[in-house]
Each structure stands twice: as C-alpha cells, then as structure tokens.
Amino acid sequence: MRENKTMKIVLASASERRKEIFGLTGLEFTVKESGAEEHMNAGVPPRRLARMLSRQKAAAVAAQEKNAIVIAADTFTIINGLYLGKARDQAEARAMLRKLNGKKHLVITGYTVTDSSTGRSISGFSETKVYFRRLGRQEIDSYIRTGEPIGKAGAYAIQGLGAVLVRKIEGDFFNVVGLPLSALMNTLKKFGIRAI
C-alpha cells in the first residue's frame, strides 16, 4: 500500500464548505471542480442517487488526474419524498424554506473515493435528520435577504446564520454542511490515507 506522502489528493468540488471541512484533516490536497451536471432524478432512490452523483463527479476529475486519490461528494435534502438541491434564487429559496418550516427533513451526502491510477473506487453515503423550528414569514424573508440560502442545498447553511433555523439534528453535523468527515476518513483508510 502506498504511503500518504506519495499520494496526490484531489477534492473534486468547488464548495468552500467542503474545502474547509476536509482541511480539518491536516492532509495536503488540491481542489478541482468536476463540472459534472447534477440531475436530481426523482425516480432514483435517494441513497443510490447520492452515491451516483458523487461517482459522476469523481470520475470526471479522475479522468483528468494521474496517480491521484480523488474525493467527490454530493449533498441534497429530502422532505416528504421531494428532493431539494441548491437554491438558485430568492424565489426558490423561499419555496424550499417554507417546505422545511417546522418540520423534520433528511440531508443525504453521497461520497466517492477513486484512485485514478488503478480505477479502484468506493462510494458511500451519510444521512442526518434535521428538525426546523417553526419560523414566521418575516424570519424567512430576513434570512433570504442575507443571501446565505443561495447555492445551498435546502436553502440554508447550518454552519452559518442558518443555525438559528434548526431546533435539533440527529446524525453527523458535517454531513449537513456537505462532507461527512468521519465516514469519509474511514473510506480513505482503505486507500492508505489517514489523518491521525
């Protein structure tokens, strides 16, 4: 098995949040956006969809990198069978937050680790239950005006001001942010990569 120091690690993501989370490991890595399209196919079961989307991202970057360990992830929110991806504008953010208001929802992140030199690839997923408190219309509108919901899965950032919307969670906090670090590190060990 190769040693950590000889492995180039590439995080296949444009997300600053994922970059910050993976940076907690102390491992050296570079970042490359996959450019893969995210199609929220409601006909695919959520856990399978999460893994599938992360595999597509990992494959796109692995095809461009030699002798690298590529890490990719995809996060989305599900409520009552409805998939919520990233809010593209204020109207979409408002619609998402109204759906989540006062209710429990599930955040799922699929992740894939691929060794571009051997083609070996392992995918997994993590899920966290998130409970929103009951919000007034003014609170939702005020939060949307901050701009924070735009580009976030489910239209909120639990690591930011969006924390005030959440009553409690059950599961991995980092999964809600976008990268289930504990589960990911267990997978990376299978590729000879350890943070500690």
User: What is the band of 14 on the pLDDT scale with cuts at 50, 70, 90?
Assistant: confident
Percentage of residues in the chain having pLDDT higher than 70? 94
Residue-number span of the structural domain to which 153 is assigned: 4-189
pTM to 2 decimals?
0.89
State pLDDT tens for residues 145-162.
Answer: 999 999 998 999 999 999
CA torsion sign for 117, 119, 120, 126 is positive
* Assigned domain for 196 exists: no
State pLDDT tens for residues 87-101.
Answer: 999 999 999 999 999
Percentage of residues in the chain having pLDDT higher than 90? 85
* Assigned domain for 194 exists: no
Q: Which residue has the higher pLDDT, 15 or 115?
A: 115
* Assigned domain for 195 exists: no
Q: What CATH code is carried by the domain that includes residue 44?
A: 3.90.950.10
Which residue type does 146 have?
A: T
Say how far apart CA 106 and CA 15 lie, in whole Å.
20
Q: Does residue 1 have a pLDDT over 50?
A: no
Give the total number of structural domains in the chain: 1
* Assigned domain for 124 exists: yes
* Assigned domain for 69 exists: yes
3-state secondary structure at position 25? coil
Q: Does residue 4 have a pLDDT over 50?
A: no
Residue 156 sits at the vertex; the CA angle it makes with 154 and 160, to the nearest 5 degrees, is 155
State pLDDT tens for residues 32-74.
Answer: 988 776 666 667 899 999 999 999 999 999 999 989 999 999 9
* Assigned domain for 9 exists: yes
What integer best gives the mean pLDDT of the chain? 92
Which residue type does 112 have?
A: T
* Assigned domain for 102 exists: yes
User: What is the band of 3 on the pLDDT scale with cuts at 50, 70, 90?
Assistant: very low
Please report how the helices 137-145 and 90-100 are oriented relative to each other, as an axis angle in degrees rounded to 10: 140
Instruction: Check residue 39 and give its pLDDT.
Output: 67
State pLDDT tens for residues 162-180.
Answer: 999 999 999 999 999 999 9
Enzyme catalytic residues: 74
Three-class DSSP labels, 49-109:
HHHHHHHHHHHHHHCCCCCEEEEEEEEEEEECCEEECEECCHHHHHHHHHHHCCCEEEEEE
Instruction: Check residue 196 and give its pLDDT.
Output: 87
User: What is the band of 85 on the pLDDT scale with cuts at 50, 70, 90?
Assistant: confident
